[in-house]
Structure 1
């Protein structure tokens, strides 16, 4: 799999239980985006799980970043332990991505998937404490454990390459160009920002269904000179782009614990984000980052202008603190310890 956070978690699990004891049953997210493709993916994964049961003596199934009711049911029929790793609210992501009433109805179908999987699981693993309430896991507190995944080689790959003081006045967005991530709200905020600060540029890194919409907005607002849409870049190139930024804006409607925030902080980029999902568990306003009161364009503009015009000294301190925070809290050792506790609770519940 190429998903960096999964690869990082796989490295952690390899260190705990050994790679030979991990059986990977993967699927394509793109193929599962439509109903027919999703059902085929579920059937295929359940079939592969049944085949694996006949060949391998595995004890548990970990479903990573997905809700798969048929696979969950098959796991329980095979009398194996089921671990469900949840990176964010599946329902809210679908709801805020909705473009019409039909897609909103589909989002509510996700509620059914969540309900089935939550009830069948033996362990539900989330990234941080705030995500328990955000996802709606209060009825399952006896099953919930907290453990981050680990963006592959986070500390080694993402680092301060360019001193903060020498960076140009550049505001960044990194991530999928989807409604639930709010990139259109940042674009709407840019004309307000340019009224106050003329010599400022914006880097939009990523791709997605809103790409053409954002291009039209940029043209309509006549801000082409100030906005660069970089598109999708390789994960290895992200460090360069982070090191061009004086501020990363994350105006999401819903999140888990975004890898882009951890990566940016490791590169010494102060982050301005909405306090959704688990974000408020890692960003302490004014200490190692900044939190928005809302993702309304005028609120985004107000905070960006305030920080860029009046708080250079604070931004430099936050840059230092954010990089240090990642080194202390998101190193491989601390993440591995959290996962070790989960396996001990699952397989040796009476051992303290």
Structure 2
């Protein structure tokens, strides 16, 4: 095994097969893979698609199972195929972005060290009221997979301080649970000048308002009903503000009804999902991203917003608290504190420069902390090499 050049395998199946690197957790896999190749490592991706986004990355196609991808049986069928393929390669490390893959690999007796980077932890989500969003039977499968992965993976990378605590509670040893946040692709997310002019046909009342956006799933655990209640309770006039909720999900109809009942349809607009190339325009046009979540492992939209120089207003949960500093790159409030959120919104609506003056520090924080090249170097040094040197030391002592 060469310290200078590692052979790294990724398993990538949480995706739309027609959009590798742009959906599910596939963008995490491809961002890590491309940055690892830039560092001189040899990278292979095993997944249910044939397209490659980068000729330097070797792609090995796993057929889509007869029962499809969107069910537990199909997932396990595909992952068992992936585990068999892993045994045919001489990988130094296998790195996966979720714990179904890691559980199936270790149960399949893969001898290669497994590293897990995952956005969340099922036990954490189940501990939060309205936090899961999973059907009961699928949650049980995830609980078993999380336990197996925590105990058997050589490293579980915690993407927030709170996730480190939860993975250790799930069974991962503290010394095998490094804290390294997820990175953001700075070539995909960056500030776009004149973004409001570009989006003018989509902005209510033009681009002169104070603009807030939310990006993500419209579901209970995201706290969006609290956001609507907070906007409705603001004492000062809110006619100069616009809120755009970008996404879709099971809460959409209920959310729209609440917006209508409050008479806020001219203030709050639900927008459909947008492509990432368009999403950077929304981040750039916005004065702030709002994250009213009840639970977050580490919000990826938070990092994307900071990459565009956009401050974040969010709850004091998990990865948000790790990165957002009051008055520096955004504002935080306690989970469920509708009045606290209303006060922050009222303050920044009345004094929009209090947000716009934070754009430079938001971007500086991103560049220093959350760019993928920085994160990937940390993974190589603090995880891969540390783990492989540990194995060498054990072999030498025998």
Where on the TM-score scale, by shorter chain, does this alignment land: which range? Answer: 0.7 to 0.9
| Aligned equivalent of 1:330, options 366, 370, 382 | 370
Q: Report what 2:146 is aligned to.
A: 114
Corresponding residue SS for 2:263: coil
Q: Single out whichever of 43-52 and 240-249 deviates more from structure 2.
A: 43-52
Q: Report what 2:117 is aligned to.
A: 85
Please list, as runs of the form range in 1=range in 2, the aligned pairs for 1:276-315 lying within 5 A after superposition.
276-309=317-350, 311-315=351-355
Corresponding residue SS for 2:243: strand
Q: Report what 1:38 is aligned to.
A: 72
Corresponding residue SS for 1:177: coil
Q: How far apart are the structure 2 equivalents of 1:25 and 1:230?
A: 31
Q: Is the 8 A contact 1:66 1:86 kept in 2?
A: yes
Q: How far apart are the structure 2 equivalents of 1:264 and 1:14?
A: 26
Bigger relative contact order (CA 8 A; separation at least 6)? 1
Unaligned 5+ runs, structure 2: 1-19, 49-61, 197-206, 394-398
Q: How far apart are the structure 2 equivalents of 1:67 and 1:252?
A: 25
Shift of 1:231: 1.0
Q: How far apart are the structure 1 equivalents of 2:328 and 2:248?
A: 31
Corresponding residue SS for 2:290: strand
Q: How far apart are the structure 2 equivalents of 1:277 and 1:108?
A: 23
Root mean square deviation of aligned Cα: 3.0
TM-score, with length taken from structure 1: 0.85
| Aligned equivalent of 1:72, options 91, 102, 105 | 105
Matched, 1:124 2:164: no
Q: How far apart are the structure 1 equivalents of 2:151 and 2:216?
A: 32
Matched, 1:141 2:163: no
Q: 1:252 to 1:161 in 2, by over 3 A?
A: same
Q: Report what 1:10 is aligned to.
A: 33
Give 1 or 2: higher helix fraction.
1
TM-score, with length taken from structure 2: 0.76
Q: Is the 8 A contact 1:155 1:331 kept in 2?
A: no
Q: 1:330 to 1:281 in 2, by over 3 A?
A: same
| Aligned equivalent of 1:161, options 190, 193, 196 | 193
Matched, 1:259 2:315: no
Matched, 1:215 2:256: yes
Unaligned 5+ runs, structure 1: none
Q: Report what 2:47 is aligned to.
A: 25
Shift of 1:299: 2.7
